[in-house]
Chain A
Amino acid sequence: MTTILPQCDIPIPQRQPHIVCHEPGNMILPMCNVQTVPGDMTERGCTFAGCRGVVGGPVKDVIQLVHGPIGCAYYTWGTRRNLSDMKLHRKYCFSTDLTEESVIYGGAKKLYNSIIESHDLFPEAKAVFVYSTCVVGLIGDDTEAVCKQAQEKIGIPVVPFHCEGFRGVSQSLGHHIANRTLFEKVVGTCEPDKTTPYDMCIIGEFNIDGDAWIVKPLFERMGARVLSVFTGNASYSDLPPMHRTKLNIVQCQRSSTYIAKMIQDKYNIPYINVSLFGMSQTAQALRDVGKFFHLEENTEKVIAEELAKYQPNIDHYRKRLEGKKCFIYQGAPRAWHWIEPMRELGIETVLTATTFGHKDDYEKIMARAQPGHICIDNPNALEIEEYLVKLKPDFFIGGLKEKYLTYKLGIPFINGHSYEEGPYAGFEGFVNFAKDIDVAVNSPVWKFINQPLEVS
């Protein structure tokens, strides 16, 4: 038996199958992608968050209109650090701000008027994305019909996303809904101006703190042409021609494999999974793409240039970080993306956890984990605290909600969701990542944590 019931979970033993200790030869995966135990202090969010916040949100030149009461729009206004080079993107928050009257009589008219008015005020927007929240699903507004009618009136695409927060068990369903909606309603609606034999799309790259601005040029330097990034710093117009790509690479393999698969099934275009974090994984991703396009020589040149420039920095940080132990708790893929890069810095990951991982995410974690590694599905605040206290990692890579709890326990912390001072992807980004870990671990502030004030 390799599942564990932590002390804090004794009253809720249904958490036990979600927590495993890795034993090679007797491998079991944590139970996952099921409903949260009510009241267990989960860190999970909702389907709306996955759709609006993660996949749809980074598209930079569309009106991101949230159909619902004010909170859902407010909380997704410029929060996730999915950067873009367009002001319309993170500067504005559009909401139908539904009130009691709409809940009783329906919000369709308000939605229609809101789409028309937003378009009038921001004619530079290339499309309108309409996200449904819990209450819209419950009162039954026909957002499809309203969006269709509004699209006819304003002449730009109006795309409804049925991402009511209560659907599914976590953010994960929201990713799927966003992928499916964009695939069904946008991809293939127009042809690219031109195509080349070297066209590729980077799927599941959301330009967190500028990641896409680091990784996209790597492929371009190799001689590939990046047709679209799905969806970091993407224009709406980048999405329709995705069906004419020759190859898709998938970075976030939880939120975005869906669209790569759909494009493969309908248009016979292959995709490969990549990990654009750390030196060797990034190099491997470049080589896989180089091999596909027969650009091996160029690829090796780019890798050699990058390593010459950045490997000395990594060697420097490795000397300062060798032998450290860390926890990684992320949405899902970054929990396994970062296990190998940490080893390049001499760091072993002793615990991973994911908020909304599925079976394949946990398989990838286990394929990389050492014996004794603890893996937690959908951890809650008490479990996180118990393991931080029990295993005392040298640092913890988590999200903002865990940050200050970790600080209070005197444990260094890196925000892996939005980053501290990213970008973290690619060769250059990995130097930023290593630097942030060095700053966190080697700051003098920690020596005061347990220092009492006494009369000597």
Chain B
Amino acid sequence: MTRSVTINPPKMCQPMGAILAYMGVHGCVPLVHGSQGCSTYPRYNIARHFRESAEVAVSSLSEDAAVFGGAQNLTEAIKNIKSRLSPEAIGICTTCMSETIGDDVKLISKKALQDESTKIFPASTPSYVGTHLTGYDNALRTLVETLAVNGEPNNKINIITGVINPGDIRELKNMLRLMNVQSIFLSDISETLDSPILPGGHKPLLPEGGTKLVDIADSANSLGTIAICRTAGSAAVYLKNKFNVPAILDPAPIGVANTDMFVQNICLLSGKPIPREIEIERGRLIDSMVDVHHYMFGRKVAIFGDPDIVSAMVRFFAEAGMKPTVAMTATKHKDFAPDIKAVNSEYKTDTQILEGTDLYEFHEVVKTHGAELIVGNSKGKDIADDENIPLVRVGFPVYDRVGVYRYPIIGYNGSIYLLDLMTNAILGHKYDPNKLHQ
């Protein structure tokens, strides 16, 4: 992209991702050290995607802080959260403001709370560096750096999920359960951001679920770490370098090959065999691909989103006989282009690679290379409308449809669901109903 102006960016800033990482930690209050908008805007986005309350504290920096620094606000914020909520942890994310004025968050927070009963995670997440995925990665690494300690081998596998949905995490857990493997999720929003209504009330602050601090500490003693999101892999690298925990960084387990790789990696690390149930789930995915191949063969699909999800979907769609025409991500990652190129050479596809760009450019390339279907988040709606093609909503945020966060697109089962969604979108949009009778 040669433009200076960014038009329609499918990316958010670091505090957004950091807040999501902290929300997957049991008993952790996210605290944004910055202006009030820096907490309110991410909260709004989380609430409208997950349809859950997302409580985040903010140090409410103002003009005074611009002149004198934000130490006083941050200290007061930490003390107030501690005295009112007694959380197990406070996850701090910095902002443009606090980073530009140069607050030493590590030092300030250490001085503010000498009491060890509440852990502090001081992540550095200025908005002018990277994207929401960078923030997720920084917060996650801060969690592990702060807590991980050597201990007895635990026979567990660490899973770094990246920014995926509660439905995806539940599907991963389902697979691990079938494989009889114990795990530590870094981190786990499957309950905190998809909570039930149960008799006896609800705790919006410090909700049930999330990965416990003791488990994050224990991540140093696992059999290995699998990051299904390479943009969030720095915690895995840290655990490898510091505690010799083997690290495997791969694209998301979507489709046949990528899910196979995930299963194989679990077996490799755990020494467990592949159970029959997993073979059956895989068989159902293949059955579903066979069932719809007449409808989907050669279909032009344009995809945008976070890099590891997009590259995994491109491979899956090629496996199912489609023609991915455009693969776009706003977050740059070194593995993105090689992933797509490998699919292009293996499946003789010609997927255009757009990296670090915006949806304005994506739309231009969709116009020149064609698409019968767009797969991406709600921000793809106007492009799909302009091109008169369906948008299959995946990723974050999806705010104009309900329930997307509940269902997986990951694993064999998630892949089946994703393929069915896409096929039904094509059937609903393209087909004469008379032609759908078999």
Q: Which of B90-136 contact A (CB under 8 A)?
A: 95-97, 100-101, 126-129, 131
A405 within 8 A of partner (CB) = yes
Complex Cα distance, B5 from A281, in Å, reads 46
With CB as the reference atom, state the residue of chain A lying closest to B383.
A91
Which of A35, A43, A71 is in CB contact (< 8 Å) with B62?
A: A35
C-alpha gap A98/B99 in the complex (Å): 14
Q: What residues of chain A lie closer than 8 Å to B323, measured between beta carbons?
A: none
B contact residues around A448 at 8 Å (CB)? 197
Judged by a CB distance under 8 angstroms, whether A341 is at the interface is no
Q: Assess whether A95 is in contact with B9, with CB atoms less than 8 Å apart.
A: yes
Pick from A42, A69, A118: contact of B127, CB under 8 Å: A69
Closest to A90 in B: B382
Q: Report if B189 contacts A (CB, 8 A).
A: no
- Let me know if A166 and B35 touch, CB within 8 A: yes
> Is B167 at the interface (CB under 8 A from chain A)?
no
The stretch among A45-53, A245-253, A344-352 that forms the contact with chain B is A45-53
In the complex, what residue of chain B is closest to A50 when comparing beta carbons?
B37
* In the complex, residue of chain B having the shortest beta-carbon distance to the beta carbon of A381: B55
- Chain A positions within 8 Å of B4 at CB level: 96, 109-110, 113-114, 117
| Chain B: minimal CB distance from A133 (Å) | 7
- Shortest CB distance A71–B (Å): 3
Residues on the B chain within 8 Å of A452, using CB: 199
**Bound Cα distance A135, B77 (Å):** 22
Contact A381 B127, CB 8 Å, known A39-B78, A165-B35, A165-B37 = no
Which B residues are CB-close (under 8 A) to A444?
Answer: none
Q: B55 to chain A: which residues have CB within 8 Å? A: 41, 381, 405
Any chain A CB within 8 A of the CB of B41? yes
Contact with A along B24-52 (1 / 0, CB 8 A): 00000001001111101111110110011
Q: Which B residues are in CB contact (< 8 Å) with A8? A: 84
Question: In the complex, are the beta carbons of A381 and B205 less than 8 A apart?
Answer: yes
Chain B residue with the shortest CB-CB distance to A452: B199
Which residues of A lie under 8 Å from residue B204 when comparing CB positions?
381, 385, 404-405, 408
A439 to B133, CA, bound (A): 39
**Which listed segment binds B: A72-80, A254-262, A288-296?**
A72-80
Q: Which of B66, B360, B379 interacts with A137 by CB under 8 Å?
A: B66
List of B residues within 8 angstroms of A95 by Cβ:
5-7, 9
Select one of B36, B51, B52 contacting A46, CB under 8 A.
Answer: B36
Judge if A373 is at the interface, Cβ distance under 8 Å.
Answer: no
Q: Are B40 and A408 in contact (CB under 8 A)?
A: no
For A73, give its contact among B9, B76, B97 (CB under 8 Å). Answer: B9
A213 contacts chain B at the CB level, 8 A cutoff: no
Count of chain B residues with Cβ under 8 Å from any Cβ of A? 74
Using an 8 Å CB-CB cutoff, how does the interface string of A21-50 with B read, 1 for contact, 0 for none? 000000000000001111111111111110
* A100 and B51 form a contact (CB under 8 A): no
Q: Which residues of B contact A385 (CB under 8 A)?
A: 204-205
CB pair A69 B197 closer than 8 Å = no
Tell me the complex Cα distance, A449–B202, Å: 11
Residues of B near A272 (CB, < 8 A) are none
With an 8 A cutoff between CB atoms, is A197 at the interface? no
In the complex, what residue of chain A is closest to B132 when comparing beta carbons?
A71
B38 touches A165 (CB 8 A): yes
> Which of B10-18, B238-246, B259-267, B415-423 has 4 or more CB atoms under 8 Å from chain A?
B10-18
For A168, what are the chain B residues with a Cβ–Cβ distance below 8 Å? Answer: 62-63
Cβ–Cβ contact B60 & A35, under 8 A: yes
**Per-position 1/0 for A67-104, Cβ under 8 A of B:** 01111111111010000000000011111111110110
Return the chain A residue nearest B127 by Cβ: A69
On whether the beta carbons of B15 and A71 are closer than 8 Å, the reply is: yes
CB-defined contacts of B3 to chain A, threshold 8 Å: 114, 117
Contact status A100-B128, CB under 8 Å = yes
Of the listed stretches A183-191, A316-324, A395-403, chain B binds A395-403
Partner of B9, one of A93, A100, A402: A93
Q: Once the chains are docked, how many angstroms separate the CA of A410 from the CA of B201?
A: 8
Contacts A11-B84, A46-B36, A400-B48; A39 near B128 (Cβ below 8 A): no
Using CB atoms, name the residue of chain B closest to A93.
Answer: B8
Chain A proximity mask over B46-74: 1 for CB below 8 Å, otherwise 0 = 01100111111111111101100000011
Contacts of A169 in B (CB 8 A): 62
| Interface of chain A residues 394 through 427 with chain B (CB within 8 A) | 400-405, 407-410
Q: A42-B58, A95-B6, A97-B6 are in contact. Are A49 and B11 (CB under 8 A)?
A: no
| A70 close to B77 (CB less than 8 A) | no
**B8 CB to nearest chain A CB (Å):** 5
* Known A35-B60, A401-B40: A133·B76 in contact at CB below 8 Å: no
Q: Which 7 A-B pairs have the closest CB atoms?
A: A39-B77, A71-B13, A46-B37, A75-B41, A114-B5, A11-B83, A113-B4
Q: What 8 new A-B contacts, CB under 8 Å, besides A41-B57, A134-B96, A401-B44? A: A35-B62, A36-B60, A38-B74, A39-B76, A39-B77, A75-B42, A95-B5, A99-B129
| B residues in contact (CB < 8 Å) with A | 3-9, 11-16, 31, 34-38, 40-45, 47-48, 51-63, 65-66, 73-74, 76-81, 83-85, 95-97, 100-101, 126-129, 131, 195, 197, 199-202, 204-205, 360, 379, 382
- The chain A residues found within 8 Å of chain B, CB to CB, are 8-9, 11-12, 35-49, 65, 68-77, 79, 91-100, 102-103, 109-110, 113-115, 117-118, 121, 133-135, 137-139, 165-170, 381-382, 385, 400-405, 407-410, 448-452
